[in-house]
Every structure is written in C-alpha cells, then in structure tokens.
C-alpha cells in the first residue's frame, strides 16, 4: 500500500493592496512533490476553491528556478493535477497519511483564516498524523487549536523570518508576520541565517523556514510516514 499525502495550496492571488499578484511558491510545491512521489508516495492536491491555484509570479523568475521547478514545467501529470485541485471542503483527513502545506504569500490571506483548513489540520494532528508546513505556510496554523490551546503552543517551530520578509519588502503588505504570530501563539520559534535550509520537527509537527527548506521538510515528513 503506497502512502497518501494531501498537499494544500492557496487560492488567494492578490498581494494585499499593491495591485500585484501572489499565490503559491512553485519550488515549495515542486521539490516536496518529487521528494515524496519519487519514493512512491501518492499525492493529492487541494485548495480552498478547487481548480487551478494561482502561482506567485515571482517564483517563476529565472533566479527562482531549481531542478524541481524545471522538472515541473515539463510534467504533464503534475500540471494536470494542478489544474484540477480538489476543493478543500471535499477532502477528509482519514483518506491520507499526512498533510503538507506549501507556502508563498497567498496562504497568509486565505488558509490562515479558513475554518475548513483549520479543522483539517486539527483532524490530522489529533489522529496522530504528521502535519507539515514550509515558509509562509505555517501562517495556516494561526488559529488552529487543539483542546482550546494553540497547536503551536510549547512546540518547536520555524517559518519565514521577519528579516526575510523585510528583505522582500513586504513587511507592511502582509496581514501578519509569520515569525511574530508563531511566537505570540506560544511557539518556541527558532531560525538560522536568512535563505538557508532549515526544518524543525516537534513530534508530528514539521515546519520549514523558507523556500530553500522545502525539500528538507519533505524528507522529514517521509521519515514520519
């Protein structure tokens, strides 16, 4: 029996009031997708609205390309899955062994506030299944509570740093800063040098700091399933 992992992508494409577009970050989908699927893991994609989720245009810049994103560009199977993501409200935690949230700025607006997503994360977690997030995706944990306590409370976590947000000049655009939110909710937040690969595992909660950490998060997830 191959393991099944649910990937949850943002449906949000507006970068605040800037008039610019956002969405999910391609590397944060592509690298974990191949790290898992090449090991025989069956991956399902979902998003709040279903259908094709928006890609953050900056993640398609030549400077942001990696082997995984180039592979994705030529992968008709993955591109077809992307065009037809399941609606988040139609998926159930019992059908999967774990859930993974790629980042990009989009999740800070929709997944952070999405009650269906919050319940889904709680369902995976309380049923002893790994939950994994990279870069901005830990923002989806903002209002997730287990037995009245924030899921991240007292847990070792990481996520996109305030200084990385400063570097991309979006500190005043995003609805909240991932680092600040995780600390405020009781997370034991740690980070390393900006843009370096860093993943933190605390039981079945896995978080990664930035796009460079996406494959590391997937490798840690693979160990847990």
Per-residue pLDDT of the chain (225 residues; tens, 9 = 90+): 799 999 999 999 999 999 999 999 999 999 999 999 999 999 999 999 999 999 999 999 999 999 999 999 999 999 999 999 999 999 999 999 999 999 999 999 999 999 999 999 999 999 999 999 999 999 999 999 999 999 999 999 999 999 999 999 999 999 999 999 999 999 999 999 999 999 999 999 999 999 999 999 999 999 999
Q: What is the pTM for the complete model shown?
A: 0.97
Strand, coil or helix: 17? coil
What CATH code is assigned to 4-224? 3.40.50.880
What whole-number distance in Å separates Cα of residue 203 and Cα of residue 128?
A: 9
- The pLDDT assigned to 197 comes to 97
CB 204 within 8 A of CB 221: no
* Domain boundaries defined on the chain: 4-224
Q: Which two tokens stand for residue 197?
A: 């690969």
The Cα-based distances of 160 to 20, 86, 147 in angstroms read 20, 27, 27
């Amino acid at each position: 029996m191959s393991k099944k992992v649910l990937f949850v992508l943002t449906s949000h494409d507006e970068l605040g009031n800037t008039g610019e577009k956002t969405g999910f970050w391609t590397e944060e989908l592509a690298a974990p997708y191949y790290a898992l699927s090449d090991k025989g893991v069956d991956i399902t994609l979902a998003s709040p609205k279903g259908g094709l989720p928006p890609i953050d245009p900056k993640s398609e810049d030549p400077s942001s390309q990696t082997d995984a994103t180039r592979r994705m560009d030529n992968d008709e199977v993955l591109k077809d899955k992307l065009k037809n993501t399941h609606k988040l409200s139609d998926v159930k935690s019992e059908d999967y062994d774990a859930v993974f949230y790629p980042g990009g700025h989009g999740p800070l607006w929709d997944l952070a506030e999405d009650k269906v997503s919050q319940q889904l994360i709680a369902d995976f977690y309380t049923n002893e299944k790994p939950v994994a997030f990279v870069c901005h995706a830990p923002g989806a944990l903002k209002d997730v509570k287990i037995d009245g306590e924030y899921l991240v409370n007292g847990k070792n976590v990481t996520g996109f740093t305030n200084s990385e947000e400063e570097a991309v000049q979006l500190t005043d655009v995003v609805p909240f800063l991932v680092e600040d939110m995780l600390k405020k909710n009781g997370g034991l937040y740690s980070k390393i040098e900006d843009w370096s690969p860093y993943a933190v595992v605390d039981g079945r909660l896995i978080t990664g700091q930035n796009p460079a950490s996406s494959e590391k998060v997937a490798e840690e997830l693979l160990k847990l399933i």
